[in-house]
Amino acid sequence: DKPIFMSRDDIDRNSPSRKDGIDVCHETHLRYSYCAFLQNLGTRLELPQTTIGTSMVLCHRFFVRRSHACHDRFLIATAALFLAGKSEESPCPLNNVLRTSSEILHKQEFAFLSYWFPVNYP
């Protein structure tokens, strides 16, 4: 029902975020913020730039169909980086991705991550 390819104008006018009251300027800021987060996360995890770029594309594709108001952009970005690592054949253990993401977002290590996942968790 929805077109596969959309122009920039279509995205700006018909974005699900627009229906939730987020204007184009604010949505652009949100997009830049999760891209900067992904660049920081991928760099800290020593992932190739192609993997980081793929994760950004995955996030953009997600938010073309879903609203920024209904989803945590950093959670989606973290999942996208994990999936991009697998698809680009540069996988990173989930525990490392989650720990580093938490450190960036909260500027500290989360002690409960070690409780959720054993030290040698793949």
pLDDT digits (tens, 9 = 90+) for 24-71: 889 889 999 999 999 999 999 999 999 999 999 999 999 988 999 999
Query: Which residue type is seen at 94?
Result: L
Which residue type is seen at 101?
S
In whole angstroms, what is the distance from residue 32 CA to residue 37 CA? 9
- In whole angstroms, give the CA distance from residue 105 to residue 98: 10
Q: pLDDT digit string (tens) for 90-119?
A: 999 999 999 999 999 987 555 545 554 555
Would you kindly state where each structural domain of the chain is located, as residue ranges? 8-116
Superfamily of domain 8-116: Cyclin-like (1.10.472.10)
Two structure tokens written together for 10: 């279509």
Name the region of 47 (left: φ>0; alpha: ψ -120 to 50; beta: rest): beta
Looking at residue 121, its pLDDT comes to 47
| Cα dihedral 113, 122, 39, 87 sign | negative
